[in-house]
Amino acid sequence: MQLKFESVDDVCCAVCLEVMYMPVGLKCGHLFCMSCIKQAVGVESSKPLGRAPRQASCPSCRQRGVFAGAVELYELNNLIRRKFTRQWLEQRKQATDDHCAQLGVHRRRRTSGSHYVLSNLYNMPVVN
């Protein structure tokens, strides 16, 4: 079976309406960005999706009990990254920025390269 993505709309998350970044499939068959679905059901970004509250339901079909068997779709993520590189990179940056904000850190670009350094909001030194 060969998947063909003709447009960005074919790989959009129903929560953020952008190209999926790190897609996850729920038991009900709906796909979302990992960070979007965790935020939608109130699961901390560092916790597994299976920790969703029992009353949480799929944002698309409202079915309950679909989070415990969620599957991270790494190959789909790679396909999306290859086909829609610019949009995927934008989503990766947004997801990283959101995650850093939750942790209370911010990113700054190193002057000598393209790597990012994480430092906390209290200007504590970053140890390399």
Domain with residue 68: its CATH number is 3.30.40.10
In a domain, 41, yes or no: yes
As a whole-number percent, the residues of the chain with pLDDT over 90 amount to 40
Distance CA 74, CA 94 (A): 19
In a domain, 105, yes or no: no
In a domain, 54, yes or no: yes
- Range(s) of the domain holding residue 58: 8-87
Q: Tell me the residue ranges of DSSP E strands in the chain.
A: 23-25, 31-33, 71-72, 105-109, 116-120
Q: Give the lowest-confidence range in 11-20, 84-93, 111-120.
A: 111-120
Distance CA 117, CA 120 (A): 10
Local structure of residue 19 (DSSP, 8 states): B
pLDDT at 108: 55
In a domain, 40, yes or no: yes
In a domain, 2, yes or no: no
Distance CA 62, CA 68 (A): 15
pTM > 0.75: yes or no = no
Number of domains the chain contains: 1
As a whole-number percent, the residues of the chain with pLDDT over 70 amount to 72
pLDDT at 44: 87
In a domain, 57, yes or no: yes
Non-local CB neighbours of 24 within 8 Å, separated by 6+ positions: 31, 32, 33, 34, 37, 49, 70, 71, 72, 73
In a domain, 109, yes or no: no
Q: Which of 104, 106, 95 is nearest to 117 (CA)?
A: 106
In a domain, 81, yes or no: yes
pLDDT in tens, 2-54: 556 677 888 899 999 999 999 999 999 999 999 899 999 999 888 888 889 98
The answer to whether 92 touches 77, Cβ cutoff 8 Å, is no
